[in-house]
Amino acid sequence: MNELVDIPLVEGRSALSDETCNDFIDLYKSIPKRTWDKFDGESESLDAIGQYVRNCLRRREIEKKLLAERNEFGSFDISSEDHIAIPSPGVPADIDVEIPWVDKSKVLESENDNHFDDGSDEVQIDFEWNDNSEQPDENGKDWK
């Protein structure tokens, strides 16, 4: 597991990192930070996933710097989406990286906003009772 975690730090090209880092980063960010914090140090597997993601972010930072340097020197044949070879000795493991967490609080606030078109804050639910109990609605319920 430790060898896999360090793959994004290798010099040269890393096909595994090229193919999996973006997906791992996106998946990692899709789980709330408080969940990762809750299990920090409790599971070797979860800690390894977190370390792999951080190493992917480290590799991404070095790739961005190398691409920027190449672009400064007129090498415009490389798009910012390309992965490039990392020079020896590889990606330093001590680069500080931050997980780019998505702040979902604004989304939750708007989803929980109970203001309706008429300006009221009341939730109104109308159920129509089906008085014909011998013939429930198409879902088998006596109400619709």
Q: Show me where the domains of the chain are located.
A: 2-99
Residue 86 has φ and ψ, to the nearest 5°, of -90, 130
Cα-based angle 72, 75, 80 (whole degrees, multiple of 5)? 85
Residue with tokens 């879902």: 139
Tell me the three state secondary structure of residue 60.
helix
Mean pLDDT of the chain: 79
| Structure tokens that stand for 69 in this block | 């340097």
Q: pLDDT for 72-115, tens place per residue? A: 766 555 554 578 899 999 999 999 999 888 766 555 555 555 55
Task: Identify the pLDDT of residue 2.
Answer: 81
| Structure tokens that stand for 40 in this block | 């920090």
